[in-house]
Amino acid sequence: MTAGTEPHALVRLAGHEQAALLRTGVVSSRDLTGAHLDVAQRQNRALNAWLKIDPEGALAQAANADTVIAGARAAGATALEALHPLHGLPVALKDLVSVKGGQATSGSRILEGYLAPYDAHITERLRTAGAVILGKTNMDEFAMGSSTEHSAFGPTANPWALDRVPGGSSGGSSAAVAAFHAPFAIGTDTGGSIRQPAALCGIVGLKPTYGRVSRYGIVAFASSLDQIGPFARNARDAAALLHAVAGRDDRDSNSAPVPVPDGLLRLPADDEAAAALRGKRLGLPREYFVAGMEPGVEARVREAVAALEAAGAIVEDVSLPHTEYGLATYYIVAPAEASANLARYDGIRYGPRLGDGDVMTTYLETRGRGFGAEVKRRIMLGTYALSAGYYDAYYLKAQKVRTLIKGDFDALFGQGFDALVAPTSPTVAFRLGEKMADPVSMYLSDACTLPANMAGLPGVSIPCGLSEGLPVGLQLIGAPWSELELFRLARGYEAITASAPWRAMEPTELMLADDPATPTPVERAAALAGTH
Amino acid sequence: MATLSRADVEHVAHLARLGLTDAELGRLEGELNHILDQYAVLARLDTDAIPPTAQTIELENILRDDVVGPSLPVEAVLANAAATDGPFIAVPPILGGDEGTAQGAEPG
């Protein structure tokens, strides 16, 4: 291979740079896929980012992609340009996305052995785009958690510090992209499960507007909140992945008939993106600088805001007065919906069936032993909140407060703000085990992200520097259907910070992750528990 | 707001069809009460005149023609079941513990 295309350099290229090499024929999709598979397989012992790596399937998809590229090249420049930007490029899927004939554990023992009988809508769309599916990533069980420690298959380590969590629930996807196992990954976000791990791993992650992406074939958590979205190491790649999977699908009746802008495939270059920041009106919600926020996180976010202001954006202090009620509201609505969605896991139609005797014994045994501690906690909370005599006091009350939370956002966007700017997470990546003993402390990780889910709004987390050597995320929240605007703002911020020293840094413990003698995350967690 | 007793926790576990150990029930009693304490902030808000929000994007009446489309083949659906019997999923008795009544005795 020529200089810059040996595997170590290849996987470090942005997705759109890899796509350019494919089109000029400098590398093949098999080269790219092989290079990413190698690093994923080598580092998975130390990171546990993947629950399934599929070399045979991925290389077969890559060979197909190469055939299509060869055909397009023979047909001329127009045919080559017509290929989707994701064509031939590796993508990681969170292990709750159905891929026909493959596993979809959702991080749970109760789905062990289950093989999806059909492709999810987004899987179909990725196949149509020509993307190469490398495998399935680790996650908190049923997407319930903020650290990936609630996976039934062991936690994932953060490539910036292997003793720390990658965030969650989509922590396998965020760690894989940060560690150069894939340029693209899919996650889901119910209360922050894309944005928070993106922040903690130093990458870009977007939760789209509720209804932007069809959830057909995705394991459900809380149906009025769940959205699918992209991870990448830059705004341009994340926008291209969103473009590939977004749009109306009859099989998810909550997916909206709203056009997907092709501008997602043409984000502006540095000069234009930076110039476009001038005159943008950004709100800085004071309630997001919460008690318990780490000073280093607040400092990085305020520096980012100052940089946007210096580039000509108009930043105004604003208030979202019902923010303090978000956490309680979310932790009623989400568990209530989850308790209903997870009723289907009963050992009858799929998954292991435990217990001898009548069907009640089967239910109690299968669910009692199949679900982990956090999932049981949420099912209990949700069942209680929906039970006779408590529905009005909890679920109905929470839905009414949800109206107030949404109203706060509606009022600001009605005044013409282009976006709100806030921290993504109040802390940098925390230590394995640190928040496992106290569920409420774990829930607080989502305080800055879950309001966007409650209001159905899009939000993106982008890297904005380091605190104590660990990544900090800047969150931009927009009006409904404003993903393109958010990505343009993100592109602008990338442009004005292009020469910042932290932009050139990569995760600090990749060498350690390469070492076959490095302990697994399970071993690390056990060692840390011993020192508490 | 309410406080959950051990008996309440057992009742909710039964409603949720979760078979929990004594240790789990004890731990959940403490954890659930701690979480319910956090919900108490909501009582400060007067929401009597506020309508509930269940859906944020205001889609209404998405209709389609009522036409028969392809479904998954029976074999694909049965492939994940723990027990099958011909084209059916086999399930444990659903009525009580008495096997005679569960099967539904043939009337003479």
Q: Which segments of chain A have a pLDDT < 70?
A: 1-4, 531-532
Catalytic residue, from A94, A136, A280, A435: name it. Answer: A94
* Segments making up each domain of chain B, as ranges: 6-44
- Which B-chain residues 61-100 have CB contacts (< 8 A) with chain A? 62, 64, 72, 76-77, 79-83, 89, 91-94, 96-97
Distance from CA of A368 to the nearest CA of B (A): 4
Q: How far apart are CA A94 and CA A98, in angstroms?
A: 9
Distance from CA of A140 to the nearest CA of B (A): 19
- Which of A358, A390, A391, A409 is the best mutation test for B, with the most CBs of B within 10 A? A358
Within a domain: A80:
yes
A193 is catalytic: yes
- The pairing of strands A314-318 and A281-285 is parallel
Within a domain: A346:
no
Q: What's the total number of domains in chain A? A: 1
Residue A4 has what pLDDT? 66
Q: Encode B55-105 in three state secondary structure.
A: CCCCCCCCCCCCCCCCCCCHHHHHCCCCCEECCEECCCCCCCCCHHHHHCC
Contacts of A327 in chain B (CB under 8 A): 38
What's chain B's Rg over C-alpha atoms?
23
Q: Least CA distance to B83: which residue of chain A?
A: A348
Within a domain: A353:
no
Strand ranges for A96-252 from DSSP E: 132-137, 184-189, 204-207, 227-232
Among the partner-chain residues B19, B32, B91, the one whose CB lies closest to the CB of A364 is B19
* Predicted ipTM of the assembly: 0.93
Residue A111 has what pLDDT? 98
Residue A438 has what pLDDT? 87
Distance from CA of A365 to the nearest CA of B (A): 6
Q: What is the pTM of this model?
A: 0.96
Q: How far apart are CA B11 and CA A501, in angstroms?
A: 57
Q: Do the chains contact at A364 and B18, CB–CB below 8 Å?
A: yes
Q: Do the chains contact at A394 and B39, CB–CB below 8 Å?
A: yes
Q: How far apart are CA A335 and CA A355, in angstroms?
A: 26
Contacts of B55 in chain A (CB under 8 A): 224, 254
- Which of A212, A332, A375, A380 is the best mutation test for B, with the most CBs of B within 10 A? A380
Q: Least CA distance to B47: which residue of chain A?
A: A400
Residue B62 has what pLDDT? 79
Q: Do the chains contact at A359 and B39, CB–CB below 8 Å?
A: no
A100 is catalytic: no
Contact between A380 and B9 under an 8 Å Cβ cutoff? The reply is yes
Classified as helix, coil or strand, A174 is helix
Give tens-digit pLDDT for B28-83.
Answer: 999 999 999 999 999 999 999 999 998 898 777 778 889 998 999 999 999 999 99
Distance from CA of A418 to the nearest CA of B (A): 19
Among the partner-chain residues B28, B62, B82, the one whose CB lies closest to the CB of A352 is B82
The CATH code belonging to domain B6-44 is 1.10.20
Look up the CATH number of the domain holding residue A427: 3.90.1300.10
- Which B-chain residues 2-21 have CB contacts (< 8 A) with chain A? 2, 4, 8-9, 12-13, 15-21
Residue B94 has what pLDDT? 84
> Residue B94: how many CB atoms within 10 A of its CB?
10
Q: How far apart are CA B24 and CA A375, in angstroms?
A: 13
What one-character DSSP code corresponds to residue A193? T
Contacts of A363 in chain B (CB under 8 A): 17, 19
Q: Can you tell me which residue has the tokens 């990458």?
A: A203
Distance from CA of A86 to the nearest CA of B (A): 29
Reported as half-sphere exposure (CB side, CA atoms, 13 A), residue A409 has a value of 26
Q: How far apart are CA A170 and CA A197, in angstroms?
A: 7
Work out the pLDDT band at B1, boundaries 50, 70, 90: low
Residue B58 has what pLDDT? 78
Residue A388 has what pLDDT? 87
A280 is catalytic: no
Within a domain: A342:
no
Residue B108 has what pLDDT? 33
Residue B106 has what pLDDT? 38
Q: How far apart are CA A296 and CA A473, in angstroms?
A: 11
